[in-house]
Structure 1
Amino acid sequence: MVRTRGTTRGTTRARGTRGTATRAVLGSGDADEDDAAATRAKNQGRLLLVLVAMAYGSLSVSLKLVFESAGAPTAGVLGGVRGLMTILCFAPMLMAKDSKGGEGFETGAGFWRSAAELAFWNLGNQGLCNVALLFTDATRVSFFTQASIAFTPFIASLGGDKVKSMTWLGCALAFCGVAVLGMDGGAAAELGGNFNLGDLLSLAGAASYSMYVYRIGQFAKQGFSGQGLQVWKSVFLAAMYGGWMLYDVFAFTSGVPGAAVPWAGWQNLKIWVLLAFTAIVPGCLADLGQAKGQETVSASESSVLLAGEPLFAAVFGAVTLGEFLGPMGYVGGALIVFGGLVAGDVFASKKSLTK
């Protein structure tokens, strides 16, 4: 009986030990599955941001085709029309009950302030760059606006975020790539000259875009829906562009010196098609994709991945406008891609990733 009781207790202890071991193994498996799921989500976010960069790369080429068309609209009218088209794209989401994200997301007054703030930074980026084209060439604008990849880590660090050394290195490599890419072609002869107003406006637009990228990540951490913010940001942005458009019309009808015809070629079907494309792909789909991607990817890394935009723009420009990169352009593009891979810890060891 003693052996029986002892055996029972020993068996119980053994079963308990095996049960504990089993739970430990199961717990370890759950943790591994969670880590794998998080890694997959982050990699999907990175891929999504690359596609967003591709969509944004098509924007500059499409707008260039618009401005080269006969009777092209002014920058304000172009922005206003695109804004209205973008709202039409978001209309089903705007009318939905959960347009602000629904259950589980913050939907109070802070949501409206956040959406309006994103619209402000977005307008600062695109609006300043559009005006910059009046004072300098497109290559220089493209070069200076991509300085946002260098601004974002500084903004993130000032905001209290920890920026990894590999991210800093990736940002530096991508910035060098943008510089080399900018020196390709017509801009090469101008880089040694003084800064003009267009250059300064482009840099201001780059800083505004960095704030836009950074604040998207911050709002996601605060519990706001990235998709909801992008949907309602488009409404605020359309209103801001609408004010700009009304000013252009008022300036022309009032005889303000230097005011251009708002849209002489409004019957040109080609312009309408191009504007619709820019509203749907780089306007609506890219905005939603960026918000979704940044839910799992840091602001600094996002900026590096999005820095591939000029490379895609060069490819689209070669196909549609007959523009081709020189040797410096391909070197710069390779540096941008490599910088994105470095910032994404692609070359980091598994041991360092688990620390």
Structure 2
Amino acid sequence: MNLLKISWKYLFNKPLSTGLNVLILALGLAMITVLLLIQDQFEKKMNQDATGIDLVVGAKGSPLQLILSSVYHLDFPTGNIKMEEAQRLSRNRLVKQIVPLALGDNYQGYRLVGSNHDYLELYGAEFAQGEAWEKPFQVTLGAEVARKLQLQLGDQFASSHGISVGSHDHDAFLFEVTGILKPKGNVIDRLILTSIESVWFSHDEEEGESEEESEPHIHEEGEDHNHDHARDKSQIPVAKSGFPVTDQEREVTTLLLQFRNPMAAIQLPRMINSGTSMQAASPSFEMNRLFELLGVGVSLLKGIAFVLIAISGLGIFIALYNS
């Protein structure tokens, strides 16, 4: 009887210890496999969502928070920036394109993003039904939003202030669904897209209500003035590219930039961070930092998995040696 048969017979006659060692070995191998798959999918997903975005500009604060809130829509925005300053930056010769975003509202936990049609082109969006917004308070739904909330073309809803469920509703204006996007497998699937003007007008109404509540007023025949005002604003054309046209001092939340040439990667961030009230953050740089931070935990789990594999292998070897 050769050594292989003797070893197999011994292991077969010790089912409890053999089964335990095999289970530990399988657990270690499974941990490593799952960790590698999750890490790979996570990095691919994050890189895919940031494709085409060279730089993000927003209010001063945490650069990582700026990236997470503006590109991945996973965190709170760092604040707003003046549109006048944003427009001045857009005229810089090193900037190829700027896509402005206005954030701050949600519907049933899905974020409402005010932008222009360039944002759709940035992610290569395609329509399953309907068309993009053309007027204020029209919205285009990502595929996941439409599926999870069961919204159809023509449906209306009131957005909520903030980015979490349970916030105060903007009751004065109802958003109408005019388009639903095809699934793209990126961040746009879970967004509700509209014009920047829509975000402005809904917040204007909230500020107006706060002022009215602080002062006594009497409405008789003009009690519907809020709804008439809403109807008037819903007929205003919106900006399909670039910045909205306005004679008021307005703000946007962030800017998504594309560089005109490689030199911009060196000059623009330094110029913005030191010479303006805004901050610039690179998605690739900040996500590499995040991957490094997460890599510590992943390495620890990989270490545990290797220890389990070593223990199981050692257990089997000792058992065979003693036999």
TM-score by length of 1: 0.29
Q: Which structure has greater helix proportion?
A: 1
Relative contact order (C-alpha < 8 Å, sep 6+): which is higher?
A: 1
Q: Whose radius of gyration is greater, 1 or 2?
A: 2
- Give the TM-score normalised by structure 2: 0.31
- Larger strand proportion of the pair: 2
